[in-house]
């Protein structure tokens, strides 16, 4: 039983079905859903080996707290859960944590990239492109900082090339850029998220996966020996299963609490806006470094996505967050204008963020037939396929091929 029908849920369902399991995906929304897995930037990023909880992020969060257009913002609110999460984030945001986490994120990302290559042949029905990502920098200071990250990347075996403005323009000549330079990560890829989700759902259905749409989980039925027996739904029905995978995104923490599990998560709101017919379009994906905005060509369209806003599960849509993204675009791509975005409908989704910037993946110590696979934050699309494969392997009693000790779902459980 897979709880959640996002990219993690579908990848897990497909991997389990291909192993011969009878699989049902229980999803709180209808089949025509529009969550984070559908409208994100669609970049597969081995380059993102630094977790969100990193040195300097606490200071940035405090600096940007009162700016509604800033790339990273914690909206102040009276919440013990938020305060506890923030304390854990502060404790994790150090160089030692990054040093330990980076090899794990590297291994997961590269394994997932390989899985995407396998999924994309034959047919490539979700626009998978292996062209790399440019980290575009407006200032020399930003380029110096990115060069340090590039050096760390090369130490990890991830190719990274520091380029000046002329070299950057030569690498992507189809668009005018106003930058001092960039770092090029050749192993990064991109795809079209909604097409990927349609492909995964179709392949899962062909493998025998069943779907229970509009089925909101309210709790669990357990027995006295630490075994889950059934999901309880809001409508009063129950669905029994032998094993369960919790991958309900930002809603996972609440479902874990009904089992007495401590799974700290905050919903990090992200926004995107997509130009269907841009007047210019890059060939490569890019990150607008200072603005922390992702840029992805998707067929003939061009998507801009970004911001991390912690405002809770019920946080309201913020036009200022969207305006912050739009304001950044002409600073890097001077041929693109604010007027290009008039009438374009923005999107908002909630990403599940753990306090240490690492996903939760593993078997629960309290419930022998529960695997947790959530908390991927901005890395859900990147890590979807490998998470699904590892979760299926864990359910089958196999030792993971990648050391995922740091991802234990029990790491905050008392």
The pLDDT assigned to 123 comes to 64
CB 298 within 8 A of CB 292: no
Q: Please, what is the end-to-end C-alpha distance for the chain in angstroms? A: 26
**Selection from 325, 284, 295 nearest residue 68 by Cα:** 325
Specify the 3-state DSSP secondary structure of 207: coil
Secondary structure letter of residue 174 according to DSSP: T
* pLDDT > 90 fraction of the chain, expressed in percent and rounded: 86
CA 201 to chain centre: 18
* Token pair 């675009």 in the structure block, residue: 329
Domain boundaries, the chain: 2-407
pLDDT tens sequence across 19-70: 999 999 999 999 988 889 999 999 999 999 999 999 888 877 777 777 778 8
| Residue 393 to residue 400: CA distance in whole angstroms | 7
The pLDDT assigned to 58 comes to 82
The pLDDT assigned to 124 comes to 65
Query: Which of the four pLDDT bands, split at 50, 70 and 90, describes residue 78?
Result: confident
DSSP β-bridge partners for residue 26 = 3, 212
Q: Which CATH number fits domain 2-407: 3.50.50.60, 1.10.510.10, 3.40.30.10, 3.30.420.40?
A: 3.50.50.60
Q: What is the mean pLDDT of residues 140-158?
A: 98
CA dihedral angle for residue 329, residue 332, residue 333, residue 334, rounded to 10 degrees: 100
CB 233 within 8 A of CB 239: yes
∠ CA 47-50-54 to the nearest 5 degrees? 155
The pLDDT assigned to 125 comes to 87
pLDDT tens sequence across 172-187: 999 999 999 999 999 9
Query: Which of the four pLDDT bands, split at 50, 70 and 90, describes residue 224?
Result: confident
pTM: 0.96
Q: What is the mean pLDDT of residues 184-198?
A: 97
The pLDDT assigned to 79 comes to 86
CB 35 within 8 A of CB 224: no
**Does residue 327 surpass a pLDDT of 90?**
yes
């Amino acid at each position: 039983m897979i709880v959640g029908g996002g990219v993690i849920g579908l990848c897990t369902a497909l991997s389990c079905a291909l192993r011969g399991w009878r699989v049902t995906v229980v999803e709180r929304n209808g089949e025509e859903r529009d969550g984070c897995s559908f409208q994100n930037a669609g970049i597969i990023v081995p380059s993102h080996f630094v977790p969100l909880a990193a040195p300097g992020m606490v200071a940035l969060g405090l600096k940007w707290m009162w700016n509604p257009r800033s790339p990273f913002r914690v909206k102040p609110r009276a919440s013990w859960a938020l305060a506890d999460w923030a304390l854990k984030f502060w404790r994790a945001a150090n160089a030692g944590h990054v040093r330990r986490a980076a090899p794990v994120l590297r291994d997961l990302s590269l394994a997932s990239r390989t899985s995407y290559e396998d999924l994309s042949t034959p047919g490539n029905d979700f626009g998978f492109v292996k062209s790399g990502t440019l980290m575009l920098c407006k200032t020399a200071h930003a380029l110096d900082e990115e060069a340090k990250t590039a050096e760390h990347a090369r130490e990890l075996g991830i190719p990274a090339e520091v380029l000046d403005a002329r070299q950057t323009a030569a690498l992507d000549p189809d668009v005018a850029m106003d930058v001092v330079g960039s770092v090029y990560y050749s192993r990064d890829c991109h795809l079209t998220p909604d097409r990927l989700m349609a492909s995964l759902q179709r392949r899962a259905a062909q493998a025998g996966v069943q779907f229970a749409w509009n089925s909101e989980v309210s709790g669990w039925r357990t027995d006295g020996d630490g075994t889950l027996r059934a999901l309880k739904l809001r409508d009063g029905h129950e669905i029994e299963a032998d094993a369960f995978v919790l991958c309900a995104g930002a809603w996972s923490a609440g479902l874990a609490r009904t089992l007495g599990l401590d799974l700290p998560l905050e919903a990090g709101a992200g926004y995107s806006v997509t130009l269907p017919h841009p007047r210019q379009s890059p060939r490569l994906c890019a990150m607008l470094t200072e603005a922390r905005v992702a840029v992805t060509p998707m067929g003939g369209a061009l998507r801009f996505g970004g911001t991390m806003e912690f405002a809770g599960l019920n946080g309201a849509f913020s036009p200022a967050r969207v305006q912050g993204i739009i304001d950044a675009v002409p600073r890097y791509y001077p041929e693109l204008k604010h007027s290009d975005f008039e009438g374009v409908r923005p999107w908002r989704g909630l990403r599940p963020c753990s306090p240490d910037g690492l996903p939760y993946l593993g078997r629960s110590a309290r419930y022998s037939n529960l695997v947790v696979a959530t908390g991927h934050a901005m890395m859900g699309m990147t890590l979807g396929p490998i998470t699904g494969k590892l979760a299926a392997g864990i359910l089958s009693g196999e030792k993971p091929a990648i050391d995922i000790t740091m991802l234990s779902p029990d790491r905050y459980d008392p």
